[in-house]
Structure formats: structure tokens, C-alpha cells
Amino acid sequence: MEITFLKILFIFLVIMNISTFTVYSFDKMQAKNDRDRVPELRLILMTLFGGSIGALISMKVFNHKTRKWYFRYGVPIMALIHFALVIYMWARQR
């Protein structure tokens, strides 16, 4: 089985999105229990570096970080950008 850049990218994105979903979920649990929270910068960076789908799903499932404009608009925009980049890379490889 040949390991290609797209396969590595796919594995990276799956791991990143599962991690981001988990961290957003943990932050929501911490917020409900009035405990120490995950810094917003960490959430934003995880979203920026490939975890946008996990962040978006977590925001919808847990209704988390939906009041802040930079999450409400930034996460869906980042998900669209990530999706477009993956489609572009896939199309170039063919």
C-alpha cells in the first residue's frame, strides 16, 4: 500500500478533529461544573490547524461557544476553507 500525502493528510485531519471535539466537549463540561477552562486561544488554534469540523460538531451538539462572534462565524468559515483546501489537493493529485 502506497502512502501518499493525501492519506497522511486524511489521518492527520481525523486525529485533529477528534481531538478538537474532545477538547471542546471537555471545556463545556468544565464550564458547567464551574472549573478551570481551556483557554480560548487553544480552542481557536486547534480549529485553525485542522480541527474545524470537530469544533463545529461540538458547537452544535453541546451549544458551546456559540455566543462569541469569532467562534460563531470563524469556525464555519475555517471549516469551509479546510474543505476547499482538501478538495483542491485531491483534485491536483488526480
What SS3 state is found at 93? helix
Task: Tell me the pTM.
Answer: 0.91
* pLDDT beyond 70 at 70: yes
Task: Work out the average pLDDT over 27-53.
Answer: 97
Tally the domains of the chain.
1
Tens digits of per-residue pLDDT, 38-50?
Answer: 999 999 999 999 9
89 occurs within a structural domain: yes
Give the whole-angstrom CA distance, residue 6 versus residue 73.
Answer: 28
- Please say whether the beta carbons of 50 and 17 come within 8 A: yes
Q: Domain limits at 42?
A: 19-28+38-93
Q: Give pLDDT, residue 1.
A: 64
57 occurs within a structural domain: yes
6 occurs within a structural domain: no
Q: Give pLDDT, residue 6.
A: 86
Q: Give pLDDT, residue 4.
A: 87
Give the whole-angstrom CA distance, residue 57 versus residue 16.
Answer: 13
Nearest Cα neighbor of 35 from 44, 26, 43 is 26
87 occurs within a structural domain: yes
